[in-house]
Amino acid sequence: MDYSSMTIKELSRGLSNGDFSSLDLTNYFLNKEDDVSAYISKLKKSALEQAKEADERIKSGERGELLGIPMAVKDNIMIKGVKCTSASLALKDYIPPYDATVIKKLKEAGVVFLGKTNLDEFAMGSSTESSYFGVTLNPCDKTRVPGGSSGGSAAAVASGLTVSALGSDTGGSIRQPAAFCGVVGLKPTYGSVSRYGLAAMASSLDQIGVISKNVEDTEIVFKSIFGRDVMDSTSADYSFNDIDVDKSKLKIGIPKEYFVDGMDQAMKEEIEQSIKDLDVDVVEISLPHTKYALSAYYIITSSEVSSNMGKYDGLRYGFSDNSAKDLIDSYFKNRGGGFGKEVKRRIILGTHTLSAGYKDAYYQKALEVRHLIRQDFLDAFKSVDLIITPVSPSFPFKIGEKITDPLEMYLLDIFTVTINLAGLPALSMPCSKVNNLPVGIQIIGKHFEEAKILSAAKQFEKIWK
């Protein structure tokens, strides 16, 4: 049986009916060839133990949509006793002593963890090319990148190596790889899902989310991980209320700033046609401060990166160069040898923007722009229910094509970083294809209105399939 083509609901029903076991499912996915290098590590021993435990729970009469369902986890989210590398030499052998809150919740739900997926080092990148463990390939075209930084999770879902996967999104790191690989990716509202146990990149922007084959699967996983957590002071007391949106009454906003010169023409045309196919009330809106978003985003993230990376000194854990002559030499060698180019680049940029004489000129200005961008969205949502935009200005590019040009790589985030700056929820989903390459579209909602986004997306999915 081809389990990889089945949805979570179909698999859950089959498990409940005794058509197959969680052990059958787990063996199936563990034994599939990873020909896109989606995983950094597979957790065969613990996965089989979890599957057996799930089968016992099912046999005893317990039921749950995720009970016995195999999932993958981005390797910057901690599972107790399992290496969490963040795709860096600096943490190559680091084993966390605790579970992330999302992992704890999914364990309680009976999820089986198949393995840890590849990412850009410390989640800094848009192509999954900066990983210490090598490049992940795009299942749609193995000469191209899967996007990043959650490229391993997106590639694993798209190639049928897992049913669903967790990722993290700081500036588009769930939505862009989901778009590049032709799957669904949800970046929730900032604070709706606990960040406890996520290796921090930029703490005011990071958010754990979900990548799945379809909208319903994404919703099922999200409903198992959201909520207030005492271990994360930024998490919100949040309740998810199922709603059934009336598509005929929706008003969709299309920001004129997002259909810009330089965007791939074929992608632009496909997205415009996909919006027309929805047959909903569409109005043009303006988000005037969008043009400043990328600059503000990279100043804020680099500043927070420079702070968050300070703990990786090689003295307590992580990569350590034993040839150091003294403490200062140890810092230079441990950090110089443990981090890759992109991480070093962002640490240097962030340290500069936070230094005396520059903080007000750069960091403080970026925070002011962030406030204006958030206000743009709040103003827009006074007249529309949802906002639809492209996810990326271009199709997946060839491996090695942009990695040597950081500025060109950063420009790929132009349509996604505004959502993180504003703390909004957004979902990326496929709407079309061009030459077998997926076209991703982004649906943005008000704070904590994931239910509305998911309800609308389920209806849009039927039209775009």
Contact at 8 Å (CB) between 8 and 66? yes
| Catalytic positions, written as ranges | 74, 149, 173
What order of strands is seen across the sheet that includes strand 386-390?
39-42, 112-117, 70-74, 164-169, 207-212, 184-187, 426-434, 437-444, 386-390, 251-255, 281-285
How far, in Å, CA of 35 to CA of 139, rounded?
A: 9
Cβ burial 450-461 (10 Å sphere, 16+ → b, else e): bbbbbbbbbbbb
Which residues, in sequence order, are CB contacts of 106 under 8 Å at separation 6+? 66, 71, 113, 221, 224, 225
Cα 278–Cα 279–Cα 285 angle in degrees, nearest 5: 85
How far, in Å, CA of 462 to CA of 278, rounded?
A: 10
How far, in Å, CA of 395 to CA of 141, rounded?
A: 11
Which residues, in sequence order, are CB contacts of 42 under 8 Å at separation 6+? 30, 34, 114, 115
How far, in Å, CA of 330 to CA of 351, rounded?
A: 19
Contact at 8 Å (CB) between 154 and 185? yes
Q: What is the DSSP string of 94-149?
A: ---SS--HHHHHHHHHT-EEEEEE--SGGG--SSS-S-TT-PPPBTTBTTB---SS
For tokens 């110089």, what's the residue?
336
Contact at 8 Å (CB) between 135 and 399? yes
The residues facing 168 across adjacent strands are 208
Selection from 146, 79, 217 nearest residue 399 by Cα: 146
For tokens 């500043």, what's the residue?
303
